[in-house]
Amino acid sequence: MSAARTLSMRDALYEAPGPKTRHRVRIGTAVSAVVVLLAIAAVIRQFWVTGQLAPRYWSLFLQWTTWRFLGQGLLGTVAVALTAGAIALVLGLTLMLGRTSGVRPLAALCRVVTDFFRGVPSLLLIYFFFFVPAQLGLKMPSFWMLALPVALAASGVLAEVFRAGVNAVPKGQVEAALSIGLSRAQTMRRVVLPQAVRYVIPSLIAQLVVVVKDTTVAYVVSFPDLMQNARVLITSYDALVSMYLVIAVIYILINYAINKASVYVAHRTGVKIIR
């Protein structure tokens, strides 16, 4: 059409209002604004009534040492998340390659492993690495007690993401590659994978959110991440509510930024995000 205006679906549900509708929308907007503000006010009031707005709960955030300690925790979170993410990337790709290899037993095995890691809570895997190596007499650093299970949990999902990417590569590409004499493996490596990876980059970035979330149970294995350091500060400052809220906001902002980055990359490369 001539005038290309992009309407989001939620706007498209409504047509351009007439005078009566416009009046009704205006009233509804005012009423809902009041309701939302009242809800916010009620929350703030509850903080006030219970004394949670007292300076002693918030003054620690004015101290440099608080932020330095939280910053150290954040570095721990980032290190674990990136390590787990990198391992999951390799594992996920391997699982996908195995599953699509065409070698029956290998494909079946990879499928079972993929479904297993997708169907099990990451917490269960974390407890596994917390208890079992120790029971077998292995001493494992807490970093790996966290990074490995988080990586395993993510690898199942990533295998599926990669598979979706491979499926998104047009069949004609494979046929063309085979027709010029490339082997199956060569076709996968030289033609399919490079395109598939391009398709899934935004989804891979988005999966980092899941990894970051999974690392927050670091306290189970006593690894000093953001959450664990926050717990330490809570015991020394006795500022539980304020600290947990601040930590939650930090996590939300980090994950929001990761999601935004994923959408941005998808937009830039014109790729749809596969979930």
Q: Provide the 8-state DSSP code for 217.
A: G
- Minimum distance between the CB of residue 125 and another protein, rounded to whole angstroms? 8
Residue in 61, 78, 79, 127 binding another protein, rule: CB under 8 A: 127
Answer yes or no: are the C-beta atoms of 182 and 190 closer than 8 Å: yes
Q: Is 223 one of the binding residues for another protein (CB under 8 A)?
A: no
A 10 A CB-CB count for 80 gives 24
- Minimum distance between the CB of residue 54 and another protein, rounded to whole angstroms? 11
Q: Is 183 one of the binding residues for another protein (CB under 8 A)?
A: no
Q: Is 47 one of the binding residues for another protein (CB under 8 A)?
A: yes
Cα–Cα dist 272/76, whole Å: 32
Cα–Cα dist 25/19, whole Å: 10
Q: Is 131 one of the binding residues for another protein (CB under 8 A)?
A: yes
Q: Provide the 8-state DSSP code for 273.
A: P
CA proximity to 149, closest of 108, 115, 110, 120: 120
Residue in 82, 107, 120, 164 binding another protein, rule: CB under 8 A: 120
- Minimum distance between the CB of residue 186 and another protein, rounded to whole angstroms? 34
Torsion 73-74-75-80 (CA) sign: positive
Answer yes or no: are the C-beta atoms of 247 and 230 closer than 8 Å: yes
Residue in 62, 104, 105, 135 binding another protein, rule: CB under 8 A: 135
Q: Which helix (H) or strand (E) holds 85?
A: helix 64-99
Query: Which stretch, 87-95, 121-129, 184-192, 263-271, contacts another protein (CB under 8 A)?
Result: 121-129
- Using CB under 8 A as the criterion, which residues of the chain lie in contact with another protein when the complex forms? 1-3, 5, 7-10, 12-21, 25, 28-29, 31-33, 35-36, 46-47, 49-50, 52, 115-116, 118-124, 127-128, 131-132, 135, 209, 212-214, 216-217, 227, 240-241, 244-245, 247-248, 251-256, 259
